[in-house]
Amino acid sequence: MKDFKNDPRFAGIEPFEKKIWLSSPTMHGEELEYMTEAYTTNWMSTVGANINEVERLTCEKIGRKYSVGLATGTSALHLAVKLLGERLYGQPKVGHGTLEGHRVFCADMTFDATVNPVAYEGGELVFIDTEYDTWNMDPAALEKAFELYPEVKLVVMVHLYGTPAKIDEIRAICKAHGALLLEDAAESFGSTYKGVQTGTFGDISAISFNGNKIITGSAGGMLLTDDEMEANKARKWSTQSREAAAWYQHEELGYNYRMSNVIAGVVRGQFPHLEEHIAQKRAIYYRYKEKLAGLPAAMNPVDTAVCEPNYWLSCMIIEPEAMCGQVRGETDALYETEPGKSCPTEILAALAAFNVEGRPIWKPMHMQPIYRMNAFVTAKGNGRGASNAYTAGTGAGDVGADIFARGLCLPSDNKMTMEQVDRVAEIIRRCFD
Ligand SMILES: *Cc1c(COP(=O)(O)O)cnc(C)c1O
């Protein structure tokens, strides 16, 4: 670790006294009232008024007919995958996954929770490369994947960092190939695409109330569907698949995935503050954009003619010519200081030295050891070949690896003041001196 405090490039910059977080929970008071209500009325389990109200509020906000409150976004995605798998291939024998023997197209540059549920259900994950316009699934690569694997019937997409993907294109391709779409809107709650809320675009969709999301329950998630039978099935599965009998009677495999009424109280208290959080995140994004102007770098792209993101995380990407030497192994990274240049590894180390939390771009799934043998389809078609080293301009055609190499997530905590954003931007600016 270099000594940034004594590095003349950073002269005059003070470390933050209180740590600046990437994205931490922001409480308002109402959360405690609803949690207390659960406590005083003794609805301290997975039944109660908070769960009912949070399900109602979610449907109302997103514009979806049914929502099912679950323990986490990951459990929502798992039950969604299982429902879609049963819709496509029927119910498997107990102990077997719904997707066994079937390929599924999955977003590549995302958090692993988006795609792991496909593996839980025994599916074979085929990763689809990313495009530069929204940093989401590339419709051209998806089209290519259907040429290679025309039998595929399920696509798992995500809206990374709160920016909606190219939904019209992706939906049209799915329709043309008779494939179902699972939409992971965990990071994009409150974002709209052509005026419509994300969470409405999948045959089934999911959102998350994890501690770092735009609003939180400390944990929690929602499965969203327009099919009443599927909503009921997800609710039943999530409570151990109990049948209507006096004793514990089971016809199907069950899960303990239901949302707690205490957690739901926190979410309920957060709901009135969703738009306020989005406004704060938006202000942070545009302040960074203003303060980082002129650097050989850009913010994560946002096309406001098409969408209004929730700006959950502000990110930046360094121009290829301005990248200093950077090499990443599986768990460590090295870089070389070069005048006029920088890289995510240097910037993240500098931020950390000044008590600021940033984070690398979510490492693409095809680069993860766990999925190293899985197929990966790029628009250019030459697929794998990019390594952990910086490969932009080499024609490898691996957009995810390129964004991972050159991009990073900036602290985007909605409690940040504009002065704090300015100081963070100044630290980043000095990295290029
Ligand atoms: C947070 C997140 C999830 C998982 O949600 P949890 O509530 O943490 O289980 C899934 N997908 C994406 C893209 C996420 O960011």
pLDDT in tens, 232-290: 999 999 999 999 999 999 999 999 999 999 999 999 999 999 999 999 999 999 999 99
Q: Is 221 in the pocket of ligand 1 (CB under 6 A)?
A: yes
- Closest residue CA from atom 14 of ligand 1: 186
Nearest atom of ligand 1 to the alpha carbon of 213: 1
Question: What type of residue sits at position 121?
Answer: E
CA of 304 from ligand 1 middle (Å) equals 25
Task: Give the mean model confidence (pLDDT) for residues 176-204.
Answer: 98
User: Sorting pLDDT into bands at 50, 70 and 90, what band is 387?
Assistant: very low
State which ligand 1 atom lies nearest to the alpha carbon of 113. Answer: 10
The verdict on the CB of residue 230 being under 6 Å from ligand 1 is: no
Q: In 3-state terms, what secondary structure has residue 28?
A: coil
Here the tokens at position 374 are 């899985």
CATH architecture of 30-272: 3-Layer(aba) Sandwich (3.40)
Q: What tens digit of pLDDT does each residue of 320-373 get?
A: 999 999 999 999 999 999 999 999 999 999 999 999 999 999 999 999 999 999
Nearest to 312 by CA among 282, 341, 357, 290: 282
Among residues of the chain, what percentage have pLDDT more than 90? 94
Domain spans, the chain: 4-25+274-431, 30-272
- Mean pLDDT score of the chain: 95
Query: Closest residue (by CA) to atom 7 of ligand 1?
Result: 73
- Whole-structure pTM value: 0.96
Q: Cα–Cα distance between 12 and 19 in angstroms, integer? A: 19
Ligand 1 in reach of 187 Cβ (< 6 A)? yes
β-bridge mates for residue 208, sequence order: 221
Ligand 1: does its nearest atom lie under 6 Å from the Cβ of 114?
Answer: yes
For ligand 1, what atom is nearest to the CA of residue 76? 9
Residue in 78, 111, 223 to alter for ligand 1 test, most ligand atoms within 8 A of Cβ: 111
Mutate to test the pocket of ligand 1, among 77, 184, 191, 224 (most ligand atoms within 8 A of CB): 184
Round to whole Å and give the CA distance between 226 and 114. 21
Does 109 sit in the ligand 1 pocket, CB within 6 Å?
no
Distance 352 CA to ligand 1 centre (A): 24
Look-up: residue for tokens 């090295």?
Answer: 334
Alpha carbons 284 and 90: distance in angstroms, whole number:
47
Evaluate: CB of 210 within 6 angstroms of ligand 1. Answer: yes
CA of 117 relative to ligand 1 center, distance in Å: 11
User: Percent of the chain scored above 70 by pLDDT?
Assistant: 96
The CATH superfamily assigned to 4-25+274-431 is Aspartate Aminotransferase, domain 1 (3.90.1150.10)
pLDDT band at 397 (very low <50, low <70, confident <90, very high): confident
State the closest ligand 1 atom to the C-alpha of 219, by its place in the atom list counted from 1. Answer: 7
Q: Are 25 and 277 in contact (CB under 8 A)?
A: no
Beta carbon of 310 within 6 Å of any ligand 1 atom? no
110 ligand 1 Cβ < 6 A = yes
